[in-house]
Each structure stands twice: as C-alpha cells, then as structure tokens.
Amino acid sequence: MSESHNVSDSSETPAQSPAQSPAPSGLSRRGFVRNGALLGGLAAAFGGMLPAGTAAATTTSSTTATPRMGTNSATGTVDIPNKYNVPFSVDDDELFVFAANFKPFELGGNDSGREAHRYFDAVFGDAIRAKFPNIKLKYATWDYPVRYEDLAKAGRVPDLILEDPRLRIDRDLEPLGWTQDLTAAVQTAGIDLSTLNLGSVEQIKSRSDGGLYGVPLWIDESLLFYNKRIFDKFKVKYPTLGSTYDDVFKLAEKLTVQDGLDHYKGYMQHPDNYLAMNQLGLYPFVPGDSEQPAPEDVKVNLTSPEWKSVADNLYRFLMIPRNNFTTVDDFFKGDMSFPGHLAMAVNSLSKLNAYALSSYYIEEDDAAQYAEWAKSVQIGVTSMPVLSRGSKTIYQPDTRAAFIPPQSQHQDQAWDVVKYLVSEEMQSRISSYGMKAVLKTDAVVNAFGKAIPELAAIDTSAVYWGDNAVIKNYKNTEYWDIPLYKVFRQHVLKDGMDVASSLQVAEQQDIPDYIKAQVARGLTW
C-alpha cells in the first residue's frame, strides 16, 4: 500500500482549460478551476454521464456538499466500490473517520483482506470509543480498501479526516470540495489555538485561503540521528542539542572516510524537505492581491538573499567528496550497499520509532529484516542542526491535522472528537505513542514514548527541544506543490550547477512550466 496518492489522476483535460475560460458569476477563478477538475474526474468515472445534481457544483463554492450517490436508502448504508473489490460500506449512523498520508496508519493490513486498524485503534480509536460510548465509529485508511476518489464517487464523505495539511489541502481536499473555514467553529468549540504549536497553526492557515481549514493534532518531527558505532570507531564526539550546521559540517567531513573496504558517509539531509520546511520560515510564493490568484498570476521568489543563504548552507554538505546524497534512510539501510555506514541523517520521528523496532511502526513482515539491520546501528538522536549559535529554531512542522468536511453528516460528533484529540489527556496519549504532540505541557512532554518500550534506552529529550519555524508572508498567496526537487536533486547533483544558477532556473523556468502544465491538465496544485 503506497503512501503517495493523487485523487485527480482520473481527471480528463477539457477541450478548453478552465483557467482560460471565464469563471461563472460568484465563483472565484480558483474555485472554477477546482470544480472543473472535480467534474472532469466524475465525468470520467461515470462514463461521461454526471450523476444527477452534480452540475450545481459549478455555480457554488468549493465547500458545497456533494450529492450522496450510491446510497441505499432502505438500509441507511452506503456501499463504496473500490479497486480491490473488497466489500466496504458506511452506515448512516456511523461517524466515519478516514486517515491518510501517515505511514503507521497503513501498517497491519494487506491486500488479502486485513484492513489496517492497528495503529489507529491503539493511539486513537480505543480512547475515542471509551470516551464516547454512544458514538458508532467507522474507520478506514488510504488506500486499502478505499481511496478518496472511491468515497467521492460513492458520495459518502468522511465525517472526520486525519491528513497532512502542508501538501494535501490543495492536492486532495480542496479539489473534492471537502474543506471549510473552521475559524468560528473552533472558537465555538472552545479550542484555544494559542496553546497549540504555533508553526502548525500557521502552516494550516497558509493553505486555507484566508481561513482555517483544519486543527493540528501532532507532528512527525525531524531530528538528527547519529550512529554511535561510527563516532566511537573514529573517536569523534557526538552532536548535541543546539549543534549548528557549522558544527555538524565539521563532523560530516571527519566521518566521510574510507576504512579498508568500508566506506562511511558523514551526513544526509533530504534537500527537498530542507527547502520546503526551511528554518527561516521562507515561503516561495509572492503575495499578490488575492487569496486565490489565477494560475498565471502566481509568482515565486527563490533568488532572494535569504533563499540563497539557506541553499548555500546545505550545498556544502552535498559537495563533501564521497558523501554523495542518496537517501536519509541509509542511516539504517537504504541505497548504500551495507547497513549502518551513514554517520548522521536528519530524519523523521516516526522513523526513530521504526529503527527502535517498535511493532507499531514496522510492518510485521519487515520486522526480521529491521532487526538484522539494527545490529549495525547504535542509535543516538539529538536536535536537527540550527542555523546559528544560540538559535532554537528547527524545521517548519510536518503536521497532521483534523478536517471536518462541510458534507459531514455528524458535525457535532466530529467536533466532540476533535476537542478531545487536542485535550491534554489525548495529547499525552499521542505523545506516549512516540509522536510529538501540538500541545506542549509538562504532562504531555513527560508522557513521550511511555507506550513504546523500545525507546526506553534512547535519549529522546530532543523531541520537544526547540521551536518549529513559523511560515511567513503567506497572505494573499495560493499554494502549489511546486517541484523544489529541481534545485538540488536535478540542477546541482545531476546538472552540476552552482546554487545561484539552480535557484534562478527553478524560479524562472521549472516552476512556471510546472504550473502551466498542471493547469493544462485541469489541476490546481
């Protein structure tokens, strides 16, 4: 089951791109493009015949309820066909929770009939059922057995979605019309956003067209992993909390070394994530006159002095001789020939749980292989490097958030659950299962990892150290999932360009070409 998905793959490119056609009265340019893409996908799915009532979506906002297709009114059950041909249905009296884009949710299931419930039930489901015995909970995760497009075709919209706001609001939720501004509802529910992780809140707002489409729940934090075996072998001191990139660069040079037939690399950090989640809070899109600019009006800036300084900082690591970038998963076993030959890597907290061999974070079939790889690694973990001495600013957060679509049939129950999920009780539970909570209290911090005994031997004090970078200057912009990989992985590592040239080509050529191509496909991300 892949973690990456794309709802809009089925969309047909219309004879005339929606972005080139005049928008109907009362509908924003972006809304018109978005609905055009959705209608194209529905038309393709239904052999060119749109379900009754669907045409009304072209004259309403992107959050208008979609007609409920495929409902069996006699039984109050919606059957949801899927590519696996596995029976799946949702009853009208069930609170339907759907989760996507967090790999642990997918573990424990397979294509032979076992749906993946293990992680959700342990961390969330069992607690929700105990707290709300009157709520009839129905859960599924992308993509087995159902995907977003299956739900859309069947007309059964989830009541609560757990999803990645940074990348998936614009790519998945908005095109389906499953977003709404929750600002007033959050206040009514008594959720105090000021107590939650500021970087996560602002990240969601930056994707929410001037509103707030979701409520943050937890963060798959980025940390600096280091293999104590390699440091000890070469008698090098470990990195510590607050180590700067300058500090770590010196370590990386020392530990990129050939020792007989063994070659060790010093350092890996994913260059795409490094730019997208940069520690200065830089946003690539230039503010304009609207929260929903036409695609041709979307402008980017990657060539400012700030962007160049950020890029230069990583470039030096990529240029260390024989420290060739492959994958941060080489810390355990990725593309390198042998496990345990990478000294340091910036990687995610969920990977720490997997590398510690927690069964909640490893597929059962992979456990033996992970255990074998673990023999080559003695895990150390500290804060990811900071840009300057004394700084405590780490990456922008890799957040997961709760979304309540406007079509939810159980809005009140969904809000009860969301309020519970951001309570200290549930945030402590999330923390105990090895994730960084968005509520930082002593109880939450002290609970970290208590339900993951494999973490007991690892110093995890770095998890709540520092402050996530806060995204800046995002108002009057529209987010596109632009190809930042072109900067380093294409132009620097493959084309041999310098940093300034790679940033300029990405800004002036790659990104505009990408946006034009997406618009030609009827897509808005």
Range in 22-36, 87-101, 121-135, 280-294 the model is least confident about: 22-36
Tens of pLDDT, residue by residue over 469-517, are: 999 999 999 999 999 999 999 999 999 999 999 999 999 999 999 999 9
Count of residues for the chain? 525
**What amino acid occupies position 175?**
P
Is residue 204 pLDDT above 50, yes or no? Answer: yes
Q: How far apart, in whole angstroms, are the C-alpha atoms of residue 39 and residue 54? A: 8
Strand-pairing partners, residue 216, are 401
Is residue 162 pLDDT above 70, yes or no? Answer: yes
The confidence score (pLDDT) of residue 33 equals 35
The confidence score (pLDDT) of residue 115 equals 81
54 confidence band (pLDDT: 50, 70, 90): very low
15 confidence band (pLDDT: 50, 70, 90): very low
State residue 121 phi and psi, 5-degree precision: -65, -45
Is residue 42 pLDDT above 50, yes or no? Answer: no
The confidence score (pLDDT) of residue 460 equals 98
Is residue 59 pLDDT above 50, yes or no? Answer: no
pTM value? 0.86
Residue pair 351/192 in contact (Cβ under 8 Å)? The answer is no
Q: How far apart, in whole angstroms, are the C-alpha atoms of residue 334 and residue 313? A: 24
Residue pair 521/18 in contact (Cβ under 8 Å)? The answer is no
Q: How far apart, in whole angstroms, are the C-alpha atoms of residue 463 and residue 445? A: 9
pLDDT above 90 as % of the chain: 83
**Of 67, 126, 41, nearest in space to 432 by CA:** 126
Q: Which two tokens stand for residue 146?
A: 């159902």
Strand-pairing partners, residue 380, are 226
The confidence score (pLDDT) of residue 458 equals 98
H helical segments located in 207-331: 228-233, 245-255, 271-276, 305-318
Strand-pairing partners, residue 77, are 72, 91
The confidence score (pLDDT) of residue 58 equals 29
Q: How far apart, in whole angstroms, are the C-alpha atoms of residue 511 and residue 307? A: 15
The confidence score (pLDDT) of residue 111 equals 56
385 confidence band (pLDDT: 50, 70, 90): very high
**Of 385, 419, 501, nearest in space to 217 by CA:** 419
The confidence score (pLDDT) of residue 418 equals 98
75 confidence band (pLDDT: 50, 70, 90): low
118 confidence band (pLDDT: 50, 70, 90): very high
Kindly give, in sequence order, each residue whose CB lies less than 8 Å from that of residue 373, ignoring residues fewer than 6 positions away.
332, 333, 339, 340
Mean pLDDT of 9-17: 31
DSSP 396: P
Kindly give, in sequence order, each residue whose CB lies less than 8 Å from that of residue 42, ignoring residues fewer than 6 positions away.
50, 51, 54, 152, 153
Q: How far is CA 348 from the centre of its chain?
A: 11
Residue pair 337/190 in contact (Cβ under 8 Å)? The answer is no
What's the whole-number average pLDDT of the chain? Answer: 87
Mean pLDDT of 373-381: 97
Mean pLDDT of 327-333: 96
Is residue 234 pLDDT above 80, yes or no? Answer: yes
Mean pLDDT of 316-345: 96
Three-state SS at 276: helix
Is residue 24 pLDDT above 80, yes or no? Answer: no
Residue pair 61/82 in contact (Cβ under 8 Å)? The answer is no
Q: Give the chain's radius of gyration (CA, Å).
A: 23
The confidence score (pLDDT) of residue 108 equals 85
Q: How far apart, in whole angstroms, are the C-alpha atoms of residue 267 and residue 152? A: 43
Mean pLDDT of 328-354: 97
DSSP 517: H
The confidence score (pLDDT) of residue 110 equals 67
Mean pLDDT of 433-461: 98
Range in 57-66, 253-262, 415-424 the model is least confident about: 57-66
Q: Which two tokens stand for residue 141?
A: 């995760």
To the nearest 10 degrees (0 to 180), the angle between helices 424-432 and 411-421 is 60
